[in-house]
Structure formats: structure tokens, C-alpha cells
């Protein structure tokens, strides 16, 4: 899953039209690099990021969804707002990626009344404050319980199990150690009857371990994505599609050869 941010700060151009054009071009480039899914988002989910109004999010995201849907790619939209979900699905989005796990007003119903897939993610707190003091008694069990509870809630609302994937939310209300504990336990989550999505690309915990700034986290991010996939993640959400695919090719080639005697 390649990341397409439609946030003016990600492209530093200061205007929606230029941002849109660059986001579409970026999405097409990620498809050429081999992305299977594009995840389009109009609101930054970084710790401390300012919230965006519904109208502004629609303005940012919809033209990009409409344009990239024409490419035939699988389109995911990263949003928690029911109206954005509905409009995006009408415009051709196939998946809603919700860091708030369909808990905002109307979100559950907005997805349930369509055939779209959904990613339900765990987050402790809200983006503005989530890194202040992450606190768990039993991290793995608490995250698992939350994810199962939200998945069952979604199923009860009419979202078939096959439409749901789960994400333990690397970087969302967790310390560096907690993020890596979750990554190490990806196989524990992968035994659940839902595919697992992992997103750790360029995140601050990758920077904390490697000592690298946000633009120098390629090796750390690719290694993390590979570890997640080797532990059973079905989808990895990444900025660097080509490099991640290369790493996966090496892994799969090695796996294939290891079955020979
Ligand atoms: C939108 N977004 C940013 N980070 C993410 C992550 O780790 N997982 C998912 N599902 N979405 C994310």
C-alpha cells in the first residue's frame, strides 16, 4: 500500500490545486513502482497535527480519489469522517482506512451500507496528545481486545468479515519500545481471522532506533516492513514502494529456493 498524502504541508506548495496535481502524479508514480493499493489521505495523523474540517478534507481528497480511481488501482481513503467515507466510496474508493476504527459518528453505518473494505486501527488517545503518556497494563492483550471488539462491532453492523482488516497502530499512542513489541508480535495478531495491515514507514520510532531524520529512514522502514510481512502482515503501508518491493523479492526468492533439497 503506497501512501498518497494530500496535505499542503506534505508538498509545500501552498494551494489545493497544485497539491492535488502533485498527489495524483505521486500516486501514479507509486503504481509504476508496483504499489497494489494507494492510500489517499487529506488530514495529517502525525502527533500534534491540526484537525481539518470536513469541507477541507473533501476538497483535498475527492479530486485525487476521482482521478486515481481512473487508473484502475485499488483505492483506499484514510479518513475517520462519515461524509468523506461516503463520498469517497461513491467516487470509486474500495477501502476505508480509519485510524479511529469507525468510532466517529456515522462512520460505522457509512461503511456498512456499502461493499467497501475497511481497516480498523488501534490508537490510544487522539493524535494531538497520544504521545504524551502512552500507558498499558498488558499492551498486546489490550490492543488485541480492542481490535477484536471493533471487528465484531463492524460485523454486527453488517460488514462481512472478508471486508475487514486490522492494524495494531504502530506509532499511535505507544512508546518506541511498545511499537517494537507490537512489531515483534505481528504473528500473534496474524492468527486472528482478519488480514493484518502494518504502517511504520518513516515514523519517529524508526528514527529513534536508527538515529535518522525523517528523510533518511529508508533502510529502517524497509526492514520494518519486511519483518512485519515475514511475521504475517498481509498489507504494509509504505512511502517507498520500489525499495520495499525489492526487499520482498529477495525474501521471496530465498523462500522459494529454501524449499529445494
Ligand atoms: C493513516 N495512517 C498513518 N499511519 C498509519 C498506520 O500505521 N496504519 C494505518 N492503517 N493508517 C495509518
- Say yes or no: CB of residue 197 within 6 Å of ligand 1: yes
196 DSSP assignment? B
**Distance between CA atoms of 27 and 30, rounded to whole angstroms?**
5
Share of the chain above pLDDT 90, in %: 86
Distance 169 CA to ligand 1 centre (A): 7
The total number of residues written for the chain in this structure: 261
- Among 43, 51, 22, residue whose Cα is nearest residue 98: 43
Whole-number Å distance, alpha carbon 236 to ligand 1 midpoint, is: 10
Q: What is the pLDDT of residue 16?
A: 62
Q: What does the pLDDT read at residue 18?
A: 64
- The catalytic position among 203, 231, 249, 260 is 203
- State whether the beta carbon of 97 lies less than 6 angstroms from ligand 1: yes
- Give the Å distance between the CA of 71 and the centre of ligand 1: 23
Residue 17: predicted pLDDT? 61
Beta-bridged to residue 236, according to DSSP, are 198
For residue 134, pLDDT over 60 is answered with: yes
pLDDT tens digits, one per residue of 42-85: 998 887 778 899 999 999 999 999 999 999 999 999 999 999 99
pLDDT band at 97 (very low <50, low <70, confident <90, very high): very high
Q: Which of 4-8, 227-231, 243-247 has the lowest mean pLDDT?
A: 4-8
* Ligand 1 close to Cβ of residue 1 (< 6 A): no
Burial class (CB in 10 A: 0-12, 13-18, 19+), 108: buried
Q: What is the pLDDT of residue 14?
A: 45
Active site residue 237: yes
pLDDT at 234: 98
Helix (H, G, I), strand (E, B) or coil at 260: coil
Q: What percent of the chain has pLDDT over 70?
A: 96
Q: Are 40 and 76 in contact (CB under 8 A)?
A: yes
- What pLDDT, on the 0 to 100 scale, is given for residue 8? 78
Look at residue 197 and tell me whether its pLDDT is greater than 70: yes
Nearest CA to ligand 1 atom 3: 45
Q: What average pLDDT does the segment 140-159 reach?
A: 98
Does residue 237 have its Cβ closer than 6 Å to ligand 1? yes
Kindly tell me if the per-residue pLDDT of 127 is higher than 90. no
Ligand 1 neighbourhood includes 111 CB (under 6 angstroms): no
What local confidence, expressed as pLDDT, does residue 204 receive? 95
- Look over the chain and give the mean of its residue pLDDT values, rounded to a whole number: 94
Name the pTM for this structure: 0.95
Neighbours of 155 (CB within 10 A): 15
Q: Can 81 be counted among the known catalytic residues?
A: no
Is the predicted pLDDT of residue 106 greater than 60, yes or no?
A: yes
* Residue bearing the CA closest to ligand 1, atom 5: 199
Q: Is 167 in the pocket of ligand 1 (CB under 6 A)?
A: yes
Strands laid side by side in the 164-167 sheet: 2-5, 37-41, 74-78, 95-98, 117-121, 164-167
For residue 203, which atom of ligand 1 is closest to its CA? 4
**Which of the pair, 175 or 128, is modelled with greater confidence?**
175
Amino acid at each position: 500500500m503506497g501512501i498518497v498524502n494530500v496535505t499542503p504541508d506534505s508538498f509545500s506548495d501552498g494551494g489545493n490545486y497544485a497539491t492535488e496535481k502533485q498527489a495524483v502524479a505521486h500516486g501514479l508514480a507509486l503504481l509504476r513502482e508496483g504499489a497494489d493499493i494507494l492510500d489517499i489521505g487529506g488530514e495529517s495523523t502525525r502527533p500534534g497535527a491540526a484537525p481539518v474540517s470536513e469541507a477541507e478534507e473533501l476538497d483535498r481528497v475527492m479530486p485525487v480519489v476521482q482521478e486515481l480511481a481512473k487508473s484502475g488501482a485499488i483505492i483506499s481513503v484514510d479518513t475517520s469522517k462519515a461524509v468523506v467515507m461516503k463520498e469517497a466510496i461513491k467516487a470509486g474508493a474500495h477501502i476505508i482506512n480509519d485510524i479511529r476504527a469507525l468510532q466517529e459518528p456515522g462512520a460505522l453505518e457509512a461503511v456498512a451500507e456499502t461493499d467497501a473494505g475497511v481497516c480498523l486501527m488501534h490508537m490510544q488517545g487522539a493524535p494531538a496528545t497520544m504521545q504524551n503518556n502512552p500507558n498499558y497494563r498488558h499492551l498486546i492483550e489490550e490492543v488485541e481486545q480492542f481490535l477484536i471488539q471493533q471487528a465484531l462491532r463492524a460485523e454486527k453492523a453488517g460488514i462481512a468479515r472478508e471486508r475487514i482488516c486490522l492494524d495494531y497502530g504502530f506509532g499511535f499512542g505507544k512508546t518506541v519500545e511498545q511499537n517494537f513489541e507490537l512489531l515483534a508480535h505481528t504473528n500473534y495478531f496474524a492468527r486472528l481471522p482478519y488480514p493484518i495491515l502494518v504502517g511504520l514507514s518513516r515514523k519517529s520510532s524508526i528514527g529513534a532506533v536508527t538515529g535518522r531524520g525523517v528523510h533518511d529512514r529508508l533502510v529502517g522502514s524497509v526492514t520494518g516492513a519486511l519483518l512485519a510481512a515475514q511475521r504475517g502482515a498481509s498489507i504494509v503501508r509504505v512511502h517507498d514502494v520500489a525499495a520495499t518491493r525489492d526487499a520482498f523479492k529477495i525474501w521471496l526468492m530465498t523462500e522459494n529456493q529454501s524449499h529445494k533439497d
